[in-house]
Chain A
C-alpha cells in the first residue's frame, strides 16, 4: 500500500510544520508585545523613540539620536523589566513543563516540590530575623536567602524520594510534605514579625518585576541557557515517561536519573527566578497546559513553545499591571492569574477533544 504509506507520513510531517509555525508566530508575537510594552508607561514613548534608543546603544557609531531622559527610561527601567518578565515567564513555564512531564502529573509545578515555600521561608528569615548567607547585604540578603532555601527544599525532597526510587508519587508526596513544613515555618515567622516586616514579607510573596536589573537578568539568562540544553536533550525520555516508568525503561530511558536531573534543573531555574521576583505562581502550572493545547505533547516542541507562552503571558500581565491604574503598579503575581485564567478556561472549553476529556 504505497499510497497509504506516503499519506501517513505526510500527515505527521504536516503536524510538525504546524507546530513549528506556532512557535514562529509565538516569537513574532513576543517581539511585537515587547515593543508595545516598551512604549507604554507613565512616560509615554513612541515606537520610533524606542527603536532609536535601542539602536543608539546597540550600534553606538551608526548615528542614531536619543535623549538622556529616554535612555534612562528605556535602559534603567523599561528594558530590564521587560526582559526579566520574558525570562521569568519563559523559565517558570519551562520548569513547569519539565516537572509535569517528569512526574507524569498535570497538577505539578515547580512549587509542588517546595521551591516557593522554601524561598518564601528564606526571604522571611532575611526580612524578619535578618539572618543571611554568604555575607550578602541589603536586598541581596533576601535574594540569596530565598534562592538558598528554595534549592534546599528541593534537595530535601529529592533525597527523600530517591530512597523510594524516584517514583513520581514519592516525589510529589515528599514535595507536599516539605511545602507544608516550610509554609508553617513562614507563618511562625510572620506571627512574631512586626507590622512593618509583615508587610514586607507579604509584598515579597506577591511577586513583582520591580527589582529588575541588568545583573539579575544576566544571572537568570545564564542559568536558563545552561539548563535548557540538557532539558531539551531529554525530550524523548520525557515523551516516553508520559507512558509510564516501565514503558520508558523498556524504551531505553534511565528513568530515575532523568527524573532526578529534570527535578534539579527545573527547580534551579524556578529558585533563581523566584529569588529575584518573589513568588509568581500560575505561570509554571498553566503555561505548559496552554502550550500542550496548541502544539501537543511532544516535548521537543512543548519545551520551547512553553517558554514562549510563559514569556508572553508574564509580559502581557506585567504590562497590564503597570499601565491599568498607572501610576500605581499592581504586582505581576496578582495580574498574571487574572489574565491567564480566562485564557486558560477559554482554551479548555474550545478544545474539541482529547484534553482532559
Chain B
C-alpha cells in the first residue's frame, strides 16, 4: 500500500495552512511529520484521511484518488488515531475498540469481529480493562485504547496525530514501541504528526520537516535533523549528538 500526496493545498478560510505538499509513503515505513505549531502537521494528516478536503492537489491511496472513494472504503485502508478525546457518553473500552470494526461490518457484530477486538486489546496489554469505562482511564491507557481501535480496523496505513503529546515518559516509549511493532508485525505503514524530535528520530524511517505548510526537508532522520534545519524552522539553537547512532537533539536556546 502506498500513499501519495501531490501538491496539496489547504486553507481555513483565508489562512493557508498547506501550500503545496508532496509526500510519498512506502509500505512498512514509519514516517514522522515534524514542525512547529501551526506548520500544518495535523491538517496534512486530516487531508490524507479525507476528514478535511484540500482545495488543491490530489491524494492517492493505492493509486486511487481518495476524492472518489467512499469514506467507508477509505476507512478500510486508513486508520486515524486522534489525540485522545472524551465522549460525553460513557462507553466501555471494548465498545470503543469495536467501533474500529465499523468499516468492515454492517449492523451486527460477528464472532470474528469480537475476536479481532479481543486480540487488539491483548496486543496493547489492555485485556484487564476491556469492560472499564473509557473516560475513566489515564491518558496513556486511553492512547493505547485508540491504538487498539486502529488495529481492530485492520488498516494498511495508520495516521497518528501526536500520539505521545499527553503522555508520561514511560507511556511515550510504550506507545512508540507499540506503534513500531504494529507496523512490523502487520506490514503496514504509519504516518504520525509528532512534536518530540528525539522520539521521531529514534522511531522513524523517514522524517518530513514542515514549515508554514511547505516541506522544508525530508529524508532519513540523520539527513533531516540538522542544526541548521532546526534553526531555520524552529528558530532554536541545538546541539546534535550522534552517540546512539540516531541524531539526538539537545535544545539550547531560541535564537
**Which A residues have a C-beta under 8 Å from some C-beta of B?**
1, 4-5, 7-9, 11-13, 15, 100-101, 104-106, 233, 235-236, 239-240, 242-244, 246-247, 249-254, 292, 296-298, 300, 353-355, 357
Contacts and interface: CB of A to CB of B under 8 A. Distances in A.
A249 B118 contact: no
Interface in B118-133: 118-119, 121-122, 127, 130-131, 133
Nearest to B131: A11
A250 B51 contact: yes
B102 A233 contact: no
A252 B51 contact: no
Question: Which 7 pairs of residues, A with B, have the shortest CB-CB distance?
Answer: A250-B80, A252-B72, A252-B75, A354-B133, A8-B118, A354-B90, A9-B114
Given A249-B49, A251-B103, A353-B133, A296 B92 contact: yes
11 contacts: A5-B115, A5-B119, A5-B122, A8-B94, A9-B114, A101-B89, A106-B89, A244-B87, A253-B102, A297-B95, A354-B90
A233 to B, nearest CB: 7
B135 A354 contact: yes
B88 A104 contact: yes
Interface of B: 46, 49-51, 70-75, 78-80, 82, 85, 87-92, 94-96, 98-100, 102-103, 105, 107, 111, 114-115, 117-119, 121-122, 127, 130-131, 133, 135-136, 153, 159
Contacts of B111: 9
Contacts of B131: 11-12, 15
A242 B127 contact: no
A106 B88 contact: yes
A1 B127 CA distance: 11
Given A235-B107, A239-B99, A246 B75 contact: no
Contacts of A233: 107
A107 to B, nearest CB: 9
A355 B89 CA distance: 7
A254 B99 contact: no
Contact of B127 (A4, A106, A235, A297): A4
Nearest to A243: B87
A244 B103 CA distance: 16
Nearest to B159: A250
